[in-house]
Amino acid sequence: MIRPFLAALAFVGATMLCAPVSAQHADAGPYVPTPQSIVDAMLLMGKVGPKDFVIDLGSGDGRIVRTAAARLGASGVGVDINEKLVKLANDEAAKEGVAQRARFVNQDLWTFDTSKATVVTVYLLPSIMPRLKQKLLAELKPGTRIVVHDYPLPDWKHEDYMALHEPLKRQAHGLDTAYLYLYVVPPR
Ligand X SMILES: C[S@@+](CC[C@H](N)C(=O)[O-])C[C@H]1O[C@@H](n2cnc3c(N)ncnc32)[C@H](O)[C@@H]1O
Contact footprint for ligand X (CB under 6 A): 23, 26-29, 31-34, 56, 58-60, 63-64, 79-82, 85, 108-110, 123-124
Burial 133-142 (b: 16+ CB within 10 A, else e): beebeebbee
Cβ atoms 66, 95 nearer than 8 A: no
> What's the min distance (Å) between Cβ of 81 and ligand X?
4
Residue in 115, 130, 120 with CA at minimum distance from that of residue 45: 120
> What's the min distance (Å) between Cβ of 157 and ligand X?
23
What is the number of the residue whose Cβ is closest to ligand X? 58
> What's the min distance (Å) between Cβ of 188 and ligand X?
26
Helix (H/G/I), strand (E/B), else coil: 55: strand
> What's the min distance (Å) between Cβ of 158 and ligand X?
18
The nearer residue to ligand X, 123 or 181, going by C-beta atoms, is: 123
Cβ atoms 115, 137 nearer than 8 A: no
Contacts (Cβ under 8 Å, ≥6 apart) of 8? 125, 126, 151
The nearer residue to ligand X, 71 or 157, going by C-beta atoms, is: 71
H-assigned helices in the chain: 2-18, 36-45, 63-72, 83-95, 129-139, 170-173
> What's the min distance (Å) between Cβ of 76 and ligand X?
12
Contacts (Cβ under 8 Å, ≥6 apart) of 100? none
